[in-house]
Amino acid sequence: MKDFNKYVRPTEVSPVTVNVTFFLVGIKEFDEVNGMFSVTGFFQVTWQDSRLRWNSSDYGDLQTLELPERKTWIPNISLLNPYVRVERIAKGVSPVRYSSSGIAVWLPGDVLSSRCEVDVTKYPFDTQTCRLLFGCWGYPSSSIVVQAPNPKVGTFYFIEHDTWEIVHQRVETVSDLFLTYVSVDITMKRHPGFAVINVVLPLIFFGLMNIFVFILPTESGERLSYCVTVLLAIAVFLTIVEQNLPPTSDPISILSYYVLANLGMSCFICFVVIIGLDAMRGETEPWDRSDHTVLRHVTCSVPGTLQIFIAGWTSYTWGKCADAIPCTGHEDCGAVHCPTGYAPYCATILFNQCKCSPCKSHISLMRGGGSGAHGVSVP
């Protein structure tokens, strides 16, 4: 050890072959929003250093020797795709064990955080694949070759995660002109139970509750408040879903589209309920000329027949007649003949508006539950 220089790599064989085996202990965190994949694991790193080779019989049959990291040369293995910054995995904790033949075995461990591309299209039934890249930073392939002797991740010490289940893992060696590194691919499948119970099922129930608004009796006066409450609940769940998904436009979760569709449908139902309630209010409340500009007309058709129609409507009514024809039967009536008949409705609101005695008598008859010459009755 007197002439040993820990800053110089072994040069007897060039390049130095460094074998790296990764053992996964557990998944610490997977942040879908920020794209951070964090795991706990350790490595078994081996290489050959002829400078620390000895004859065991000359040293009392000494077969192995442990040296601290700071006293010997170690490969500067680093995580090449970190979430924050590139750092060596060596922390000065694990010693390096040498055998009499010069083979070094090093077992460093650490919490490793890498950046991971997240695909939430099928959330919460999604599967994610994250990659960890390990290599000797700064050493070209001509100096150090990092390789994986085992095509699988070691899972002897793995502790299951409560949200993610590992369904596939692969280890391969990647080499190019500038660098060799080990690629560790881990494929995980989400346990969807929590998201289904707390997000998906409530959204389905809210979608069904939108339909039930039409079952409520109009007399209860709760239709509008009911549909607005459902609308606000869906809006809150839209916020919850957005907080659990990455803020990206590609891809967008199918669940986000479903929540947006529910929100749009709820807004449409609120609009329909408002229009319907307002139209019913127009049927039950008297019309005020100062507030509503309405053209009310009574038509006189063939002799002996009276049809009552509406030529103009305000925004509080159902429609508008565009085919009104002036009536010539009674000059004092000033009515029009409209092909689209609203006799039952007109008989209720136009009794005091008609100045024509024959028309008014027929209106009075219809209001009392009778019928016109063609049997048009008023409920």
The per-residue pLDDT for 319 is 34
The per-residue pLDDT for 21 is 94
The per-residue pLDDT for 83 is 92
Give the integer Cα–Cα distance in Å for 232 and 372: 49
Strands 109-115 and 36-48: antiparallel
pLDDT digits (tens, 9 = 90+) for 221-251: 788 888 888 888 888 888 888 777 777 767 7
pLDDT digits (tens, 9 = 90+) for 135-162: 998 888 888 999 999 989 998 999 999 9
Instruction: Please say whether the beta carbons of 364 and 371 come within 8 A.
Output: no
Q: Which residue segments constitute the domains of the chain, with CATH numbers given?
A: 16-190 (2.70.170.10), 193-284 (no CATH)
Q: Which residues make Cβ contacts (< 8 Å) with residue 119, sequence separation at least 6?
A: 126, 128, 251
pTM of the model: 0.66
The per-residue pLDDT for 281 is 65
Low-confidence ranges of the chain (pLDDT < 70): 1-2, 249, 280-379
Give the integer Cα–Cα distance in Å for 240 and 217: 33
Backbone angles phi and psi of 61, in degrees to 5: 60, 40
